[in-house]
Amino acid sequence: MTPGRREFLMVGGGVIATLGFPRVTLAGPGETIEMKGTARGEHVWFAPVGLAVAPGTTVRFVNRDPGNSHTATAYHPDIFDRQRRIPEQAVAWDSDFLLPGESFEVTLTVSGVYDYYCLPHEMAGMVGRILVGQPTDQGWEGAAGDSDDLEPEALAGFPRVDDIIARGRILREEYE
Amino acid sequence: MKSALTLAAIALTLSSGNALAHDEDVLQMSPPGAPYIQVSDALPLPEFIPGLGTLFVDPDTLPAGPFLAYDHDGNLSATVYMTPLEDLQSGTSYDGLAVGNHTVSSVDIYFNAGHPGVDRPHAHVVLFHDEDAKSRLAE
């Protein structure tokens, strides 16, 4: 993204002029992330796969896939002993399996980058990234680096932090 | 002596045939009974999966199956196999798999990214047992 483009950020259909570090209008206090899949299960994904929210936002994960169950599970040692990919001060979460129509909510208060995955579909690249707050926030913790803990399919699934900042939310449009 | 052996062979063949026919009959209506269990009772999956119906499987045959697929009225409509692509690539073969019904009207093969029970990318091989089976399993 060029510096010129960074001065005008499309967020929720609005255009925001910024000076210096790009700013984004953060979604909140409630946001929904859908768990979706094609009819035969060839593709599964979170929608949006990337989302920027304000601290204190409650994110609701809802399974819109009629033929499959999904989880929203934070990368954290407390949950299946995974490498931490959420801010150190944040509380890890795991929705457990959600059947079609079921939902789970988590309130995110600590600024930083949160990476999460769907337990049965991580190898299919069903991962997501939430930005809470902005990089200028005190205590902001950026994205975790590459790791042997992750399959290549999962690593490839995280949207870039800069892209989420610029767009506010990112959909995998090829499946939508 | 020869005719006695022939009769014995025929009797054995008929007996075996009857046993197979009997076993197959047992599977035609839901529930199929032991060793099959309903997949949604053991795994976090919908009771009726659009496209596959209500699935039963003998856990000892996982991951490949056969999975017996029943429609809303409990009729066996398809036999489904699930074969992880990684296993196939590494040389695993799934041979001599059982079928729920020996009448097969059509076969669909397609990719699936994974689901509880078979959480690795795999192929679904679906043997439909009559012309209307696919529509009955659709939703």
Write down the pTM of the prediction.
0.80
User: Under DSSP, is residue A5 helix (H, G, I), strand (E, B) or coil?
Assistant: helix
Q: Judge if the upstream peptide bond of residue A55 is cis by omega within 30 degrees of 0.
A: no
**Strand (E) positions, A38-176?**
44-47, 50-53, 57-63, 73-74, 103-108, 112-117, 127-132, 169-170
Instruction: List the Cα angle B67/B69/B72 in 5-degree steps.
Output: 155
Domain ranges of chain A: 27-170
How much is the mean pLDDT over chain A? 84
pLDDT at A25: 54
Query: Is it the case that residue B14 has pLDDT exceeding 50?
Result: no
Chain B touched by A41 (CB under 8 Å)? yes
Is residue A67 packed enough to be buried (19+ CB in 10 Å), middle (13-18) or exposed (0-12)? buried
Cβ of B119 within 8 Å of Cβ of A69? The answer is no
Cα-Cα end-to-end distance for chain A: 24
Q: Contact, B99 vs B65, CB < 8 A?
A: no
How long, in residues, is chain A? Answer: 176
Inter-chain touch A99–B44, beta carbons under 8 Å: yes
Q: Which of A156, A165, A140, A141 is nearest to A51 (CA)?
A: A165
Set of chain A residues whose Cβ sits within 8 Å of the Cβ of B119: 119-121, 123
* Digit-coded pLDDT (tens) for B79-126: 999 999 999 999 999 999 999 999 999 999 999 999 988 888 999 999
Q: Is the Cβ pair A43, B113 closer than 8 Å?
A: yes
Report ipTM (2 d.p.).
Answer: 0.75
**Mutation test of the interface with chain B: which of A46, A63, A68, A70, choosing the one with the most B Cβ atoms within 10 A?**
A68
User: Where is pLDDT greater, at B3 or B132?
Assistant: B132
What does the pLDDT look like over A41-99, one tens digit per residue? 999 999 999 999 999 999 999 999 999 999 999 999 999 999 999 999 999 999 999 99
Cα–Cα distance, B50 to B133 (Å, whole number): 12
Mean pLDDT, residues B38-63: 94
Domains: count for chain B: 1
Beta strand B106-112 with B122-128 is antiparallel
State the average pLDDT for chain B: 85
Min Cα–Cα distance to chain B from A36, Å: 12
pLDDT at position A92 is 95
Instruction: Please indicate whether, in this complex, the C-beta atoms of B115 and A69 are within 8 angstroms of each other.
Output: yes
Q: How far is CA B39 from the centre of its chain?
A: 13
pLDDT at A10 over 80: no
Say yes or no: A119 contacts chain B, CB-CB below 8 A: yes
Contacts of B111 in chain A (CB under 8 A): 40, 42
User: A80 - beta bridge partners?
Assistant: none
Q: Is A152 on the interface with B (CB under 8 A)?
A: no
The CATH number assigned to the domain holding B92 equals 3.30.200.270
Contacts of A66 in chain B (CB under 8 A): 46, 50, 139
| Class of A27-170 in CATH | mainly beta
Asked whether residue B8 carries a pLDDT value surpassing 60, the answer given is no
Please tell me which residue, B61 or A25, carries the higher pLDDT value: B61
Predicted pLDDT at B104: 96
Nearest Cα of chain A lies from the Cα of B11 at a distance, in angstroms, of 46
| DSSP per-residue codes, A9-56 | EEETTEEEE--SS---PPB-SEEEEEEEE-TTSS-EEEESSEEEE-TT
Instruction: Flag whether pLDDT at B59 surpasses 50.
Output: yes
B87: containing domain? 2-138
Q: Which of A66, A69, A123 sits opposite B44 (nearest CB)?
A: A69
Instruction: Provide residues of B within 8 Å CB-CB of chain A.
Output: 44-46, 49-52, 110-116, 119-121, 124, 139
Identify residue A8 by its one-letter amino acid code: F
Distance CA A36, CA B135 (A): 22
